[in-house]
Amino acid sequence: MDKPAFPTFPRNFSWGVSTAAYQIEGAVAEDGRGPSSWDAFVAQPGRVVNGDTGEVACDHYHRYREDTALMKDLGIDAYRFSFSWPRIQPGGRGAVNAAGLGFYDKLVDGLLEAGITPAPTLFHWDTPLELEEAGGWLNRDTAERFAEYAGIVGGHFADRIPQWITINEPVVLTMLGYGAGIQAPGLALGFEALPAAHHLLLAHGLGVQALRSAGAGNIGIANNHAATWPASEHEEDLQAAGLYDNIANWIFADPILTGAYPPELEPFLPPVPDADLAVISTPIDWYGINSYNPTLVGAPTAGEAALVDGHELDASLPFSLREIEGYPRTDFDWPVVPAAFTELLLAFKDRYGEKLPPIYITENGAAFNDGPDGEGRVRDSRRIDYTDAHLRALKAAMDAGVDVRGYFHWSLLDNFEWAVGFSQRFGLVHVDYETQKRTPKDSYHWYQELIRSNKERPAGNDEGTLS
Ligand code: FCB
């Protein structure tokens, strides 16, 4: 059978795009916003490529109407953005900044008017600086503060927001922020970072409870997951990959979905009260997976440090990350392996069975840095190929029984890509950072057609199959 022009999905499948506050908003000192861990981090020399910062970013704070119009034309069902905690509670506790909430009032009302479901994340890494300085996520109190903040935002928006995400990628904040020192707050604590993981998970559970008490429902989390491949079948590599798989994947999903940490990690974790696990496993309505590529892991390599996005990892770790050879690569040098996406989703189904709630893909996408050509057109066919292949891989997992309800592409706009600044472009829409001009790329038009073709398919062909 010929490959259909577009991957086909059930009619009620939700199509979306994702962004995050610090990556797009700018306006860091406007209308009473307090500083965050990221404002402090980017001010430290050498932390971010080219010394880039999110001070202006995509100026979305002032251009949200234009960006909403772009989303309306794109035809998406849902938009995943994040609330900036320090805009709403400048010091991370106590008094609410009405102007901060006011910005999101305008954004949310505009989305609803455009027929787009707001599906926000409460926290996408921009910890209020006062809390960071008091220990940040190493301090259990931050989880309590998060619950208070979740209750405020939930109470304000429960009547208008039909889908909620507590926290973005506890794994990346723990590993890159507190473990390897690559992202804010820039601490390189190795395994001593694991309390941050526990407090983020606790915050998630408390946040679910606070949202529900405030009348909000349809709640999930957005966690980063990657299929983990062992570097070889040798015992040392299998063991190292198994440990890494637990630290990168299952430590973040098991407690939420089963109420227990992976037993293999007990030696590394402080004693955890059962009451915490009960909070962390507060039932959620769906589970969000962010995924980009698989990880190849082997035993530590003598004298050779592993690299993550160009940064050296501590060579004393009990595993090493290896290059995946033989696949195309994005401009960020991430391997493109669509089959690993299917593999990951099937691993979730195998591991959790009946306990697995419906899944949303809360992020997936690729950095390709194509800019406008002489005619002003951005021919990013590599992003189209990446997305097409990953959607087909996703559909293959659905055909094998994984219940996936929606897909949010990362990202709507090119934006501030954390430690690599503006050097990597993930957007369906190109942003000229000098002029703030938005140019929809070829991939934007492709995604628009994909959505349209999936919505216009005749009834009775809901479960279109893929070859
Ligand atoms: C994820 C982050 C997101 C973005 C993409 C490329 O880890 O959640 O903010 O940076 O990677």
Q: Which residues contact 65 (CB under 8 A, 6 or more apart)?
A: 110
- The 10s digit of each residue's pLDDT in 22-48 is 999 999 999 999 999 999 999 999 999
Q: How many angstroms separate the CA atoms of 61 and 45, rounded?
A: 26
Supply the pTM of this predicted model.
0.97
The total of structural domains in the chain comes to 1
- The 10s digit of each residue's pLDDT in 214-253 is 999 999 999 999 999 999 999 999 999 999 999 999 999 9
From the candidates 55, 130, 323, 363, which is the catalytic residue? 363
Q: How many angstroms separate the CA atoms of 149 and 128, rounded?
A: 11
Residue 9 lies in a domain: no
CB 82 within 8 A of CB 100: no
Is there an atom of ligand 1 within 6 Å of 126 CB?
no
- Average the pLDDT over 111-126 and give the result: 99
Instruction: Please give the structure tokens belonging to residue 202.
Output: 């606790």
Confidence of residue 467 (pLDDT cuts 50, 70, 90): very low
For the chain, what percentages of helix, strand and coil (3-state, to nearest 5) are there?
45, 15, 40
Of 80, 84, 363, 415, the one to substitute when testing ligand 1's pocket (max ligand atoms within 8 A of C-beta) is 363
CA of 20, closest atom in ligand 1: 9
Q: How many angstroms separate the CA atoms of 23 and 41, rounded?
A: 14
- Distances, alpha carbon 260 to alpha carbons 185, 252, 264, 440, in Å: 28, 10, 11, 45
What secondary structure letter does DSSP report for 324? P
Q: φ, ψ for residue 386 (rounded to 5)?
A: -60, -50
Instruction: Please give the structure tokens belonging to residue 74.
Output: 């794109």
- Distances, alpha carbon 292 to alpha carbons 108, 319, 386, in Å: 28, 21, 10
Range(s) of the domain holding residue 288: 14-456
Residue nearest ligand 1's atom 5 by CA: 410
What string of DSSP letters covers 368-398?
------TTS----HHHHHHHHHHHHHHHHHH
- Looking at residue 301, what is its pLDDT? 87
Residue 4 lies in a domain: no
Confidence of residue 312 (pLDDT cuts 50, 70, 90): confident
CB 456 within 8 A of CB 11: no
CB 157 within 8 A of CB 108: yes
Residue 464 lies in a domain: no
Residue 282 lies in a domain: yes
Query: How far is the centre of ligand 1, averaged over its atoms, from the C-alpha of 134 (Å)?
Result: 25
Query: How far is the centre of ligand 1, averaged over its atoms, from the C-alpha of 30 (Å)?
Result: 25
Query: How far is the centre of ligand 1, averaged over its atoms, from the C-alpha of 288 (Å)?
Result: 13
Residue nearest ligand 1's atom 10 by CA: 417
Query: How far is the centre of ligand 1, averaged over its atoms, from the C-alpha of 447 (Å)?
Result: 20
3-state secondary structure labels for all residues of 81-135? CECCHHHHCCCCCCCCCHHHHHHHHHHHHHHHHCCCEECCEEECCCCEHHHHHCC
Residue 461 lies in a domain: no
CA of 367, closest atom in ligand 1: 6
Is there an atom of ligand 1 within 6 Å of 367 CB?
no
Residue 7 lies in a domain: no
- Distances, alpha carbon 111 to alpha carbons 25, 42, 60, 77, 134, in Å: 16, 31, 14, 10, 36
212: CATH: 3.20.20.80
From the candidates 130, 169, 266, 417, which is the catalytic residue? 169
- Average the pLDDT over 4-9 and give the result: 88
Specify whether 169 is catalytic.
Answer: yes
Q: How many angstroms separate the CA atoms of 297 and 303, rounded?
A: 16
Residue 441 lies in a domain: yes
Question: Residue 1 pLDDT more than 60?
Answer: no
Question: Residue 452 pLDDT more than 50?
Answer: yes
Of 25, 417, 423, the one to substitute when testing ligand 1's pocket (max ligand atoms within 8 A of C-beta) is 417
Q: How many angstroms separate the CA atoms of 313 and 307, rounded?
A: 6
Confidence of residue 323 (pLDDT cuts 50, 70, 90): very high
CA of 168, closest atom in ligand 1: 8
Among 194, 211, 22, 219, residue whose Cα is nearest residue 124: 22
Is there an atom of ligand 1 within 6 Å of 363 CB?
yes
Question: Residue 395 pLDDT more than 50?
Answer: yes
Is there an atom of ligand 1 within 6 Å of 224 CB?
yes
- Can you say whether residue 407 is alpha, beta or left, with left for phi > 0 and alpha for psi between -120 and 50 degrees? beta
Is there an atom of ligand 1 within 6 Å of 293 CB?
no
Query: How far is the centre of ligand 1, averaged over its atoms, from the C-alpha of 175 (Å)?
Result: 14
Q: Quick check: bond before 195 cis, omega within 30?
A: no
The burial of 210, by beta-carbon neighbours within 10 Å (0-12 exposed, 13-18 middle, 19 or more buried), is given as buried
- Looking at residue 457, what is its pLDDT? 78
Specify whether 363 is catalytic.
Answer: yes
Q: How many angstroms separate the CA atoms of 102 and 106, rounded?
A: 6
Query: How far is the centre of ligand 1, averaged over its atoms, from the C-alpha of 94 (Å)?
Result: 29
Of 165, 169, 221, the one to substitute when testing ligand 1's pocket (max ligand atoms within 8 A of C-beta) is 169
Q: Quick check: bond before 213 cis, omega within 30?
A: no
Residue type, 448: Q
CA of 426, closest atom in ligand 1: 6
- The 10s digit of each residue's pLDDT in 62-78 is 999 999 999 999 999 99
CA pseudo-torsion sign 114, 120, 126, 128: positive
Query: How far is the centre of ligand 1, averaged over its atoms, from the C-alpha of 126 (Å)?
Result: 13
- Average the pLDDT over 420-440 and give the result: 98
- Average the pLDDT over 99-119 and give the result: 99
Q: What is the CA radius of gyration of the chain?
A: 21
Residue 414 lies in a domain: yes
- Average the pLDDT over 422-433 and give the result: 99
Question: Residue 465 pLDDT more than 50?
Answer: no
Q: How many CB atoms lie within 10 A of CB 42?
A: 22
- Looking at residue 201, what is its pLDDT? 98
SS3 category, 466:
coil
